Chains A and B, each alone.
Chain A
């Protein structure tokens, strides 16, 4: 247990340089982009002297490290700059989107594992049977299908043709926030995009779980378990599944990266107001301060995801704690 804490603390310490690196990269990116913080704030027709004065006031002419420190402390205080499209602080633009994306990701993750765990287990336990072939075929199809095409098909079939699900937005208009209907509607809007993403994203987990199980199945300690007189179902539940699922639980954090890429397409197709959609729109409209903020948040999510994975792994696998 002592080792585990050490590992976790050390792992968290490593996260700081990662965050700093991310912020430096973003800062450089922001500098490289046309215009500056002033561009979104001020009428472009104001005379140059006034602009220059404003720049001086805002500290935009300071040396780069002073500006970097200002920039970082701004972020820490929640100041992400000004959106030139929305004409309001980026923080405000982003808040709702972050919440929407969070729920979409969460539901997608739940679906991903709800699909992956039973399919992976079945296919690993009964490998080289018809059932396994069927599941494996699905995973191959999943790998070969680009997410945006699949999402389009889903919208078209279940949204437009069958009309079972809404095809845009995150909630039906006109509902009072806080009511039961409001939350149900939110959930209803999440379902189809989450399912679309999960169905594609889950295939790698299915395959991983399958091969993990097939691998564990022929380990010596499984024979030990049988030699103890454990029934086949106990051998699977207690020894094989447990030992195969643990490494997968650890990948949980890394899934966030996949989720982010997936959400960029899926939110666009489902016109779902989340970070992914915001990202695409802002890129297209060159709303750079928003792009920067989104990339920053994505980056932080990925770094925290990896941190989470490693911590889970260290809790779950006693062999790692020693190191």
Chain B
């Protein structure tokens, strides 16, 4: 399979966002280390791309790179947004895109809001920046509409409130209102519900889904919760140690997970009729200690015969639209050889 074909396989015609060979490196000591390593993926309009992986896999680093929000990182590769490489944009041009055409929802809604600014003004600022011509009055009207849209009761009252006066769920709604104020075409949500209770999580995910339907936006949904991905995503990318190890449509990924990492993750969440959970040995290594040669996941499945591993695992398309970084995954098994839990094997 040729590279060009492969890249096209991951993407579709005219994707909203097409990332090619993106690498993001952080400086530690006097050396740069890649936290995102040669990632290529695409997002279409009206599509939710889920990104899963343990913490430290590079999910946030990837999201921040797309928004170009990193301060001191070295970023290489192409980020084509509506066909145009935004890596070449000047800061002022980038500012026109951010908050307008592409927007982000952050994980921790308390720290993501300015503690000394009434929330109404924080939402209004996004409007002011991208639609400077609308009147102050009209802007306030729009903010009130947005507050209503994200399900905040008594918008007039909340408009004047400060973040600390609101509950976690309310704050996350404010963060979302900021993100959707200008109807972005691309919405990146970095663990939007991790800090919230399940019932609030369900409401927030519902809201994101509805907004996506309304605006036909492309959504990148980052999470470490496989249940959230299963409910929300159209396609899923599994990230480990800065690389995408598997990418597939959501049903294939859950019913026919191939990469050992994907299978391990799925097997570590509690499921029906499972007494013991699978434990992925070891931890995601710190950036400086990531194995850069060969498969990065290899050291966490030491019971697999070393000769079974591939020298330089690459993403291969094993089924249309289903890519795995490895050809030798067929030899993978769990150490106690018991049945894998989960929903796959068709249900």
Contacts and interface: CB of A to CB of B under 8 A. Distances in A.
B191 to A, nearest CB: 13
A224 B117 CA distance: 13
Contacts of A317: 116
A228 B108 CA distance: 16
Nearest to A220: B111
Contacts of B122: 224
A220 B112 contact: yes
A246 B178 contact: no
Contacts of A229: 95-100, 126, 129-130
Contacts of B95: 229-231
A226 interface: yes
A224 B98 contact: no
Given A220-B106, A319-B162, A228 B129 contact: yes
Contacts of A239: 114, 117
A242 B69 contact: no
Interface in B64-87: 64, 67, 69
A238 B117 CA distance: 10
Q: Which 4 A-B pairs have the closest CB atoms?
A: A229-B99, A228-B99, A220-B111, A229-B98
Contact of B114 (A221, A226, A234): A221
Contacts of A225: 114, 125
Nearest to A317: B116
A223 interface: yes
A111 to B, nearest CB: 27
Contact of A224 (B64, B96, B175): B175
B204 interface: no
Given A227-B69, A229-B98, A230-B129, A242 B111 contact: no
Interface of A: 219-221, 223-232, 234, 238-239, 242-243, 246, 316-319, 322
Contacts of A232: 91
B164 A322 contact: yes
A227 B98 contact: yes
Residue from A225, A316, A319, A322 with most neighbouring chain B CB atoms (10 Å): A225
Interface string B111-150: 1111111000010011001100000000000000000000
A232 B91 CA distance: 9
A228 B180 CA distance: 10
A223 B69 CA distance: 7
Most buried by B among A228, A239, A319: A228
A81 B95 CA distance: 68
A226 to B, nearest CB: 6
A226 B64 CA distance: 11
A59 B91 CA distance: 80
A242 B116 CA distance: 9
A15 to B, nearest CB: 26
B116 A227 contact: no
Contacts of B175: 224
Nearest to A228: B99
B104 interface: yes
Given A242-B116, A319-B164, A224 B178 contact: yes
B92 interface: yes
A190 to B, nearest CB: 35
A224 to B, nearest CB: 5
B239 interface: no
Given A230-B95, A319-B164, 7 more contacts: A224-B175, A227-B106, A228-B126, A229-B129, A229-B130, A243-B116, A318-B164
B111 A219 contact: yes
Given A243-B116, A319-B164, A227 B111 contact: no
Contacts of A234: 129
B96 A228 contact: no
Contacts of B125: 225, 228, 230, 238
Contact of A220 (B98, B108, B130): B108
A224 B106 contact: yes
11 contacts: A221-B112, A223-B64, A224-B175, A227-B179, A228-B98, A229-B98, A229-B126, A230-B95, A232-B91, A317-B116, A318-B162
B116 A226 contact: no
B113 A221 contact: yes
Nearest to A234: B129
B106 A246 contact: no
A312 to B, nearest CB: 14
A231 B130 CA distance: 11
A226 B178 CA distance: 12
A17 to B, nearest CB: 30
Given A224-B106, A227-B104, A232-B91, A243 B114 contact: yes
Nearest to A231: B95
A239 B92 CA distance: 18
B219 to A, nearest CB: 15
